[in-house]
């Protein structure tokens, strides 16, 4: 059981969160009340982070997948010393504040991803764990662990009910992402009722079947048990871990264990009752006892020491492996290496021409060797989307007899250093995992599928646009010339649909040289996702000595050829 200081700190999180929701008269008090102990333990004893530098590359990543519990995250950020003041906390859910209703990447220091649409964060976390595994495999050397961090996610019933979480968890289990740990706030309550009316499968057995390691903590207030579970998860390097922590939504409040505690302020009278019940002073609101704050703020010294130690490791690495170090540093800065585009082909004029998917595949393969950050794959469609990076390895756990003989290799061996991601037929998770790869940093992710199946990816497409993530989507089999598959495979409204998403750049090149220009735009882009919409059928390659240059595409539209007498 927690000692007095632990208890004081946990209750500080609880009541900061409750007071935030109460003052805003809006928000979700139930989850922070129940999940505060696991959050406290993780953030003060296990999470490697530096509150003074939220973008430190080798920090552990923490994703609050249950974004409605944002008050919990803001409490942790404030208390451990991020640039988020008590005044910011008091402005919860107000227009223009740093503490919006759901966590927003790029808006609040320390928020890794925008969450709120349930299930997405968990899949983002899978992407982050893939990013870490790839970077570690490519750059780490014996005695030089340049990349060595974990990904933690706090997930709820709603997260685990969403299909995207199942897709992502299935892939994570297959990939044996041992540095991924999900803490599941297993409280048997959702927004509109108890889980007994909708969600009764054995979750531990389900995740075990995906290939996860599962641990159950019977009492979500038992810090010792939570700590042991997290340590067991960390020690398990071969499988991702799901820690099922039994908690009580709205812990200590008159609404405890009811769905009423999920998403409504407790009300002044019940806030008071809850404080009295848990032995907390009823006044003032937003109380942060000095002793608790001092304890939380020890994260600052720990974080600075951890980051300094990493900086020393980076210097030693740079001496031992100067070329690799430069390459890593370039990736970490999200820069394009000099000469990255030297190999982009110029396609000669040709009346028959080629499909823009074909041109795209040639362009990708022409730049990939010089651009190690370019990593991605398709939802089981590379032969059609032409997105395989040939000879650059297949991302999978280190070879086993099964994978050594496996079909579908793009060449270059099966390992975590492989740059071809095989997403399987999982478009929704593919999009969300790509967001996680981009949010992690060091990776320019691409994904690919038939244009029609972008419909299966709309939630992560929209979130990437909101988060300003650099993700490249390759959508092929555009137009009526998609082939013989019929109306189910026919994109009709998809182009207008994607173009309606603010901050998603949609490019539909008209020939091979425009495809090259489109890939330049896509790779040089910062702070936005791009969709390249490509054909299955051949398109004539225009004669650019007679028509305007293809890089007019950069302007969004350009005059290819003036009408005679300038009268179209
Ligand atoms: C995709 C999606 N659908 C619906 C919602 C609305 N919503 C917010 S929280 C929630 C469920 C809450 O249950 P749980 O995840 O168990 O959280 P808890 O009640 O334990 O806080 C729902 C349906 C959402 N945020 N995202």
For residue 80, report the distance from its CA to the centre of ligand 1, in Å: 27
- For residue range 291-312, what is the model confidence (pLDDT) as tens digits? 999 999 999 999 999 999 999 9
**Cβ of residue 462 lying under 6 Å from some atom of ligand 1:** no
User: Which pLDDT does position 477 carry in this prediction?
Assistant: 97
**pLDDT band at residue 459 using 50, 70 and 90 as cut-offs:** very high
Instruction: Give the rounded distance of the alpha carbon of 258 from its chain centre.
Output: 31
- Helices 512-524 and 356-368, interaxial angle, to 10°? 50
**How many Å apart are CA 72 and CA 14, to the nearest integer?**
8
Q: Which of 26, 68, 194 to mutate to test the pocket of ligand 1 (most atoms within 8 A of CB)?
A: 68
Ligand 1 atom 13, closest CA: 190
| Active site members | 427
The atom number, within ligand 1, closest to the CA of 159 reads: 15
Residue 393: left (phi > 0), alpha (psi -120 to 50), or beta?
left
User: Which pLDDT does position 398 carry in this prediction?
Assistant: 81
- For residue range 364-384, what is the model confidence (pLDDT) as tens digits? 999 999 999 999 999 999 999
User: Which pLDDT does position 567 carry in this prediction?
Assistant: 85
For residue 280, report the distance from its CA to the centre of ligand 1, in Å: 28
**Cβ of residue 156 lying under 6 Å from some atom of ligand 1:** yes
**pLDDT band at residue 401 using 50, 70 and 90 as cut-offs:** low
- DSSP letter string, 59-112: SPEEEESSGGGHHHHHHHHHHHT-S--HHHHHTTT-TT-SS-SS--TTTSTT--
For residue 190, report the distance from its CA to the centre of ligand 1, in Å: 6
**How many Å apart are CA 250 and CA 222, to the nearest integer?**
17
**How many Å apart are CA 549 and CA 517, to the nearest integer?**
10
**Cβ of residue 122 lying under 6 Å from some atom of ligand 1:** no
Q: What is the mean pLDDT of residues 56-84?
A: 98
> Which residues are registered as beta bridge partners of 19?
none
For residue 239, report the distance from its CA to the centre of ligand 1, in Å: 27
**Cβ of residue 31 lying under 6 Å from some atom of ligand 1:** yes
Cβ neighbours for 220, distance < 8 A, ≥ 6 positions apart: 34, 35, 37, 38, 185, 187, 226, 245, 246, 247, 248
Ligand 1 atom 7, closest CA: 191
For residue 188, report the distance from its CA to the centre of ligand 1, in Å: 12
The atom number, within ligand 1, closest to the CA of 459 reads: 1
Most confident of 290-294, 401-405, 561-565: 290-294
Cis omega (within 30 of 0) for bond into 365: no
Mean of the per-residue pLDDT values of the chain:
97
**pLDDT band at residue 501 using 50, 70 and 90 as cut-offs:** very high
For residue 83, report the distance from its CA to the centre of ligand 1, in Å: 28
For residue 102, report the distance from its CA to the centre of ligand 1, in Å: 12
In degrees to the nearest 10, what's the CA dihedral of 242, 243, 246, 249?
Answer: -70
DSSP label at residue 387: -
Ligand 1 atom 19, closest CA: 190
**Cβ of residue 27 lying under 6 Å from some atom of ligand 1:** no
**pLDDT band at residue 565 using 50, 70 and 90 as cut-offs:** confident
For residue 119, report the distance from its CA to the centre of ligand 1, in Å: 9
**Cβ of residue 463 lying under 6 Å from some atom of ligand 1:** no
The atom number, within ligand 1, closest to the CA of 261 reads: 19
Is residue 135 classed as helix, strand or coil in its secondary structure? helix
- For residue range 325-345, what is the model confidence (pLDDT) as tens digits? 999 999 999 999 999 999 999
User: Which pLDDT does position 564 carry in this prediction?
Assistant: 86
For residue 107, report the distance from its CA to the centre of ligand 1, in Å: 22
User: Which pLDDT does position 462 carry in this prediction?
Assistant: 98
Residue ranges of alpha helices (H) inside 321-422 are 322-332, 356-368, 382-385, 401-404
User: Which pLDDT does position 479 carry in this prediction?
Assistant: 83
User: Which pLDDT does position 285 carry in this prediction?
Assistant: 98
> Which residues are registered as beta bridge partners of 405?
none
- For residue range 112-165, what is the model confidence (pLDDT) as tens digits? 999 999 999 999 999 999 999 999 999 999 999 999 999 999 999 999 999 999
Which of 54, 24, 47, 37 has the alpha carbon at shortest distance from 441? 54
Q: 498 near 454, Cβ under 8 Å? A: yes
**Cβ of residue 249 lying under 6 Å from some atom of ligand 1:** yes
* Pair of tokens at residue 31: 């989850």
Is residue 444 classed as helix, strand or coil in its secondary structure? strand
User: Which pLDDT does position 311 carry in this prediction?
Assistant: 98
Residue 468 has pLDDT above 90, yes or no: yes
For residue 158, report the distance from its CA to the centre of ligand 1, in Å: 5
Give the rounded percent of residues in the chain with a pLDDT score beyond 90.
95
**How many Å apart are CA 517 and CA 555, to the nearest integer?**
11
User: Which pLDDT does position 568 carry in this prediction?
Assistant: 79
**pLDDT band at residue 240 using 50, 70 and 90 as cut-offs:** very high
**Cβ of residue 244 lying under 6 Å from some atom of ligand 1:** no
For residue 191, report the distance from its CA to the centre of ligand 1, in Å: 6
Q: Which of 36, 38, 69, 118 to mutate to test the pocket of ligand 1 (most atoms within 8 A of CB)?
A: 118
Ligand 1 atom 25, closest CA: 117
**Cβ of residue 190 lying under 6 Å from some atom of ligand 1:** yes
**How many Å apart are CA 21 and CA 32, to the nearest integer?**
11
| 414-415 and 394-395 beta bridge pairing | parallel
**Cβ of residue 376 lying under 6 Å from some atom of ligand 1:** no
**How many Å apart are CA 85 and CA 75, to the nearest integer?**
10
**Cβ of residue 116 lying under 6 Å from some atom of ligand 1:** yes
Q: What is the mean pLDDT of residues 175-194?
A: 97
- Main-chain dihedrals φ then ψ at residue 66, nearest 5 degrees: -80, 75
* Pair of tokens at residue 393: 């390895």
Q: Which of 154, 156, 191 to mutate to test the pocket of ligand 1 (most atoms within 8 A of CB)?
A: 191
**Cβ of residue 68 lying under 6 Å from some atom of ligand 1:** yes
The atom number, within ligand 1, closest to the CA of 28 reads: 21
The whole model's pTM is what?
A: 0.98
Is residue 540 classed as helix, strand or coil in its secondary structure? strand
Ligand 1 atom 22, closest CA: 191
The atom number, within ligand 1, closest to the CA of 156 reads: 15
**How many Å apart are CA 396 and CA 461, to the nearest integer?**
25
The atom number, within ligand 1, closest to the CA of 249 reads: 20
Q: 130 near 137, Cβ under 8 Å? A: no
The C-alpha angle 42, 470, 364, rounded to 5 degrees, equals: 125
Q: 204 near 218, Cβ under 8 Å? A: no
Cα atoms found within 13 Å of the Cα of residue 10, Cβ hemisphere only: 25
User: Which pLDDT does position 406 carry in this prediction?
Assistant: 83
The atom number, within ligand 1, closest to the CA of 120 reads: 1
The atom number, within ligand 1, closest to the CA of 117 reads: 26
**How many Å apart are CA 535 and CA 182, to the nearest integer?**
40
Is residue 130 classed as helix, strand or coil in its secondary structure? helix
């Amino acid at each position: 059981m927690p000692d007095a200081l632990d208890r004081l700190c946990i209750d500080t999180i609880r009541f900061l969160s409750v007071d935030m929701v109460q003052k805003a008269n809006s928000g979700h008090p139930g989850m922070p009340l129940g999940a505060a102990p696991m959050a406290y333990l993780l953030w003060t004893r296990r999470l490697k982070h530096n509150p003074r530098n939220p973008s430190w590359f080798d920090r552990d990543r923490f994703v609050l997948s249950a974004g409605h519990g944002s008050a919990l995250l803001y409490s942790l950020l404030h208390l451990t010393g991020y640039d988020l003041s008590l005044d910011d906390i008091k402005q919860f859910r107000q227009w223009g504040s740093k503490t919006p209703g759901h966590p927003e990447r790029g808006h609040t220091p320390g928020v890794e991803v925008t969450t709120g649409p349930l299930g997405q964060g968990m899949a983002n976390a899978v992407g982050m764990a893939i990013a870490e595994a790839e970077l570690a495999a490519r750059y780490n050397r014996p005695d030089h662990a340049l990349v060595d961090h974990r990904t933690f996610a706090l997930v709820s019933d709603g997260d685990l009910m969403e299909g995207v979480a199942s897709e992502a968890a299935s892939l994570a289990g297959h990939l044996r992402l041992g540095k991924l740990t999900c803490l599941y706030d297993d409280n048997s309550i959702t927004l509109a009722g108890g889980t007994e009316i909708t969600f009764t499968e054995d979750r531990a057995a389900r995740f075990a079947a995906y290939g996860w390691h599962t641990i159950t903590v019977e009492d979500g207030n038992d810090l010792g048990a939570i700590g042991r579970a997290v340590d067991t998860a960390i020690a398990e390097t071969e499988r991702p871990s799901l820690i099922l922590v039994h908690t009580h939504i709205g812990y200590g409040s008159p609404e405890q264990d009811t769905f009423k505690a999920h998403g409504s302020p407790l009300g002044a009278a019940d806030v008071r009752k809850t404080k009295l019940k848990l032995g907390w002073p009823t006044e003032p609101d937003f109380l942060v006892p000095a002793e608790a704050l001092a304890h939380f703020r020890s994260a600052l010294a720990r974080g600075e020491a951890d980051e300094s130690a990493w900086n020393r490791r980076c210097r030693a690495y740079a001496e031992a492996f100067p070329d690799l170090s430069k390459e890593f540093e370039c990736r970490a800065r999200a820069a394009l290496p000099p000469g990255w585009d030297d190999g982009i082909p110029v396609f000669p004029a040709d009346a028959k021409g080629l499909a823009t998917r074909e041109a795209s595949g040639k362009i990708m393969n022409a730049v990939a060797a010089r651009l190690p950050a370019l990593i991605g794959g398709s939802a089981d469609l590379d032969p059609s989307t032409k997105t395989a990076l040939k000879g650059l390895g297949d991302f999978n756990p280190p070879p086993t007899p099964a994978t050594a003989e496996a079909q579908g290799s793009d060449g270059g061996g099966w390992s975590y250093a492989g740059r071809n991601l095989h997403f399987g037929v999982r478009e929704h998770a593919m999009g969300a995992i790509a967001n996680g790869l981009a949010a992690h940093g060091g990776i320019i992710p691409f994904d690919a599928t038939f244009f029609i199946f972008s419909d299966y990816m709309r939630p992560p497409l929209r979130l990437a646009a909101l988060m300003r993530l650099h993700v490249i989507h390759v959508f092929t089999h555009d137009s009526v010339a998609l082939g013989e598959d019929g109306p189910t495979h026919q994109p009709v409204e998809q182009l207008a649909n994607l173009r309606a998403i603010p901050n998603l750049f949609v490019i539909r090149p008209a020939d091979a040289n425009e495809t090259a220009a489109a890939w330049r735009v896509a790779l040089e882009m910062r702070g936005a996702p791009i969709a390249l919409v490509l054909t299955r059928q051949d398109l004539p390659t225009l004669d650019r000595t007679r028509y305007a240059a293809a890089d007019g595409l950069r302007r969004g539209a350009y005059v290819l050829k003036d009408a005679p007498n300038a009268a179209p």
